[in-house]
Amino acid sequence: MLIEAVLPPGALGEDTFGDPAPTPALFPTEQQAIAHAGAKRRHEFTTTRHCAHRALARLGLPPTPLPPSPSGAPTWPPGITGSLTHCAGYRAAAVAHTTDIPHLGVDAEPHAPLPPSVRNGITSPTERTHLRQLHTARPDIHWDRLLFSAKESLYKACSPLAPRPLHFEDAEITFTPHTHTFTAHLLPHPQTPTPTTTTTPLTGHWHTSHHILVTAVTIPHTPTTRPLTWETLTAQR
């Protein structure tokens, strides 16, 4: 299973290449959410929910609807964190108990280069230098698309804690190719007294197969008794 190649212990994933036939059944509240959606959106929504329902069953949970929240993310059952992703020809879901993993984000993308205008819009000068070095060492990997996916996974993991929507300039990514991992630094808001100081990094994993690349980021429990909040996550060390 492709998605589980990037998940840590305690998280479970389900995925599928394409949309199953016949179309999986949805709960009424899920059906209402896509009542006026086009065919493409209906397939994406239905199949990712199908993956999520299967993953939750593996966690031992009874069947439960996953309607979208106001932000568009699934409404997970109490005590559960999770993330959905889809791209052309692939859909996946990952879930975990919050007692094991407080927050989780996954993303899948086609393993293809980004258009230069998009690449320049999602990267910092430091990241662009890093991407050039990576391409020289490992030209078989489309590092720009992988960086895009890594930031998507990071923002999905962080969004329940963030006080505002996150953007591509809110983090910097550094890859370690031989371990298939990456380090994500959330950047302080420009109005902070020391805007160049990064926060404690988060670690993610990446994998590519079947012309698809997948990434995952988890936010672990804090090592102290302080509750996990945006302030504790982004506190400068």
The structure tokens 């982004």 sit at 234
112 and 193 fall within a common domain: yes
Q: How confident is the model at residue 237 (pLDDT cuts 50, 70, 90)?
A: very low
113 and 90 fall within a common domain: no
Residue spans of alpha helices (H) in 71-228: 116-122, 125-137, 143-158
pLDDT tens for residues 136-181? 999 999 999 999 999 999 999 999 888 888 899 999 999 999 999 9
Kindly state the average pLDDT of the residues 17-34.
95
117 and 225 fall within a common domain: yes
Residues 193-202 as b or e (16 or more Cβ within 10 Å = b): eeeeebbebb
Range of the domain at 207: 107-233
13 and 96 fall within a common domain: yes
- Sheet with 11-16, side-by-side order of all strands: 11-16, 90-97, 80-87
Domain boundary pick from 46, 81, 101? 101
Pairing status of strand 202-209 against strand 80-87: unpaired
pLDDT at residue 225, as a whole number: 47
Domain boundary pick from 56, 85, 101? 101
Domain boundary pick from 101, 123, 141? 101
- Kindly report the CATH number assigned to the domain that includes residue 30: 3.90.470.20
95 and 114 fall within a common domain: no
pLDDT tens for residues 173-232? 999 999 999 999 988 755 444 333 445 789 999 999 999 999 999 998 866 545 556 666
96 and 137 fall within a common domain: no
Question: 230 with 102: CB under 8 angstroms?
Answer: no
pLDDT at residue 197, as a whole number: 40
- What total number of domains does the chain contain? 2
pLDDT at residue 165, as a whole number: 85
123 and 88 fall within a common domain: no
pLDDT at residue 109, as a whole number: 98
